[in-house]
Each structure stands twice: as C-alpha cells, then as structure tokens.
Amino acid sequence: MDPQRLTPEEEAAAEQAAVAAQVLREDTGAGTVPAAVPAHSHDGEHPGDARPEAIRSYDVRDFPVPTGREEEWRFTPLDRLRGLHDGTAAPPAGGGESVLVEVDAAPEVKVESVGRDDPRLGRAFVPVDRVSAQAYTGFGGATVITVPREEVASRPTVVTLRGKGGTAYGHLVVEAEELAEAVVVLDHGGSTTFADNVEFVVGNGASLFVVSFQDWAEDAVHVSHHHAKLGRDARFKSFVVTLGGDLVRLSPTVHFDGPGGDAELFGLYFVDAAQHLEHRLLVGHAVARCRSRVEYKGALQGQDAHAVWIGDVMIRPEAVGTDTYENNRNLVLNDGARADSVPNLEILTGEVAQAGHASTSGRLDDEQLFYLMARGVPHDEARALIIRGFFGELIRQMQIPDLQRRVTEAVEAELERSLE
C-alpha cells in the first residue's frame, strides 16, 4: 500500500468534483457558541461519561439491559442487535473464531497476540455502556500493535477483520510510543455479529493516523467503541468510512491526557435502503490548550435508510485555551430516508480559544442541478457531480492516494446503485 501520485485523469476528476462542490451552499445553521449549552453532562473522570450518574465498569453485570428509552439508545433499533445488548447473542459455533484478524505490519511496527491478563489492555478506557462491557468480558485474545519510541513507520499497517458468520467479540490496542509516527488501517468485511473495543494510545509528541473501513456484508451487525488517549503534544487523526452492514453503531471517544494535544475526527457514510448506520462521538477536553476538529458527512438513499450522528464535546473548567469545532452534514437523496443529527457542546470555562458546532440535513437543490444542466451536463451526471463534490473535500483529508482511491471508488459504486 505504498502511496502513489494521482493520475492526470484522477486529478481532473477531483478538480471537476471540487467545482461542483462550489455549487453547494454552506448553510451551517450554527456558529461559535459563547456560553454553555445545556445538553448532556459529562461528569466523571473518563471520556465516555455521558451522564453524571454514568456507570463505568469492565463487568457487564454492572449495567442494566437497555430498553430503548435511554438517551444513548433511543435511536438504535435494539431488536436488530441480535442480543449484543442483553447477553443473548449466540456464541461462535463449535467455539471457533467468527472474525479472523490478520495484520500486515510495517517493518518498524511490532504485533503481538496476547491474553486477557496483559496489563496493556484497558488503559485508554473504562466501558460506559453494556455492549462495550460485554465485548470486554467476552473476548478471548487481543491484538496489540506497538510503534516503538521515535520510530516512523515506512508504510501503513493494515489490520484485516473478516467475519465468518456467528457472533464474536474483539479487542485491539494500537500504541504509538513517544515521538513515533504511524498510519494504521482497520479493514472490516464479511458477515458476522460483532462487538469490540479498540484502544488508541498516543504517546507524548507522537502522531497516529487511523482509517477504519466498515464495509461489511449486507447482513452484518457491528457495534464498536474506539477509545483514543492522547499524551502531551500528541496528534491523533481518525477517518471512519461506513458503508456496509445491516446495522453499524460506532462510538469514537477522545481523551486528552496532557496539554497541546490535537485530535481530528473525520467520517464518511453512505446509507442504503433499510440500513442503520450510527456514529456517536465524544471529545472530552479536560486539560489546557488542546484542539479538536470533527467533520462527518453522509448521504442517504432508499426506503428506511437511517443515519444517526451524535457529537458531544465537553470542555471542563481546567481546559483553558481549548479550540474545538464539530460539524455534521447529511444529504438525503430521496423520500423514505431519515437522518438524525444532534451536536452537543458543553462549556464549563469562559477561557476558550474557540468552541462551535453545526449540523445540516437536506436534499439536492434544484437550483444546483439547474446550474450544471444549464451548462450542458445531463441530469444524472449533474447529480453525481454534486454528490462527488459534497464528499470530495472530505476525501482529500485522507492525504494518502491509495486510500483516497478506495473511498472514491466506494462512493462511485454507491452512485451507480442509486441510478439503478
């Protein structure tokens, strides 16, 4: 997966998509927030706390079974989780592995398979919901990926996870030690019912870029929690691409463990008929002079396509000088699709550099289509250009041509499907 330059044809296509993007009106509907917004309260020590009374435990028995009336579960169709939330999920047939994990590591990177007693497990988080605790209780072995101190990985490390049917629980730890730099790709596919926890531990001055593809078979169910813990002056960049699966619920959290940390969370999703794709983010600012950016974009098509995006940002009193902004945009392509988007920002200090959020959901504008069609672009091509432009700027944030191509090809496949 060595990075390569884009071909002239690809560069031309990117430029064309960028022109189409200019047609889109940037109606963010929100700006800088000068005072605290009474939304969720994130009291407690750990970054996953959604309520003052939030339970924090590695033991699934400490959590009540969700009913769907809880704030954190009200958008999720519990009857489609196949028992991941209530302990009735069937174990792997014959005790075998339902999700196979393979790692193609850069030569500078160390990969280990470890048991549950490894002290490196559970350092970046404590579960705050029942499925995360169930995944922690249920996994048999874990994979630990370490980028040694001051090492710069020469190529991306690719973790391939392939579902083979049945139910599985998993655990992955990725640690970039002090001053290390690496790119890690998580590639999910196949058919399974899967719950897992993924820990990203970014040491002082280290840089970690993670790309997570959720490209499951159409019958798969995946509930995942990504937990990032950043040291002093550490940089963490995440890019989530969610396309496949019957139901996918992904919950990334970021916790700053020292001043000067920088976190960028990007996401792209394309929801088809009857799919439920849910992303629930929490960025906890509890130390001074840290920066965070969240940018998620999604498109929906088909009857009962459902996207959920929850973006929580908490700025504690001690987090002076915080610079944060989050944005979610949804493009609803036809009737019968639904997008729920809820940005929440809570500020407990008056000394912030910037704090804002935005959320928009809407359809393709007839004026946008007319603009292109008046210049000789056929309707279907004009529609595709606008959607490419909608995603184009976000895809360029990946900065790795091989990965950009893969995401672009996936979007093109979705566009082809929308024209069938």
Number of other residues whose CB lies within 10 A of the CB of residue 253: 25
Say which amino acid occupies 399: Q
Per-residue pLDDT of the chain (420 residues; tens, 9 = 90+): 444 444 555 444 444 444 344 434 333 333 333 222 223 233 344 444 434 457 899 999 999 999 999 999 999 999 999 999 999 997 665 555 789 999 999 999 999 999 999 999 999 999 999 999 999 999 999 999 999 999 999 999 999 999 999 999 999 999 999 999 999 999 999 999 999 999 999 999 999 999 999 999 999 999 999 999 999 999 999 999 999 999 999 999 999 999 999 999 999 999 999 999 999 999 999 999 999 999 999 999 999 999 999 999 999 999 999 999 999 999 999 899 999 999 999 999 999 999 999 999 999 878 888 888 998 898 888 888 999 999 999 999 988 899 999 999 999 998 887 776
- Which DSSP symbol is given to 95? G
- Specify the pTM: 0.87
Closest listed residue to residue 143, CA positions, set 180, 182, 169: 169
The pair of structure tokens assigned to 269 is 């999703």
* Closest to 310 (Cα-Cα) out of 80, 87, 70: 70
The CA R_g of the chain, rounded to the nearest whole Å, is 21
Question: Measured between alpha carbons, how far is 413 from 156 in angstroms, rounded to an integer?
Answer: 25
Which single residue is written with the structure tokens 């994130």? 42
Instruction: State how far the Cα of 121 lies from the Cα of 115, in Å rounded to an integer.
Output: 9
Q: CA dist 331 to 284, 341, 364, 383, 388, Å?
A: 28, 12, 7, 12, 11
| Domain map (residue ranges) of the chain | 1-25+365-420, 33-363
Burial of residue 64 (number of CB atoms within 10 Å: 0-12, 13-18, 19+)? exposed
Cβ atoms of 397 and 268 closer than 8 Å: no
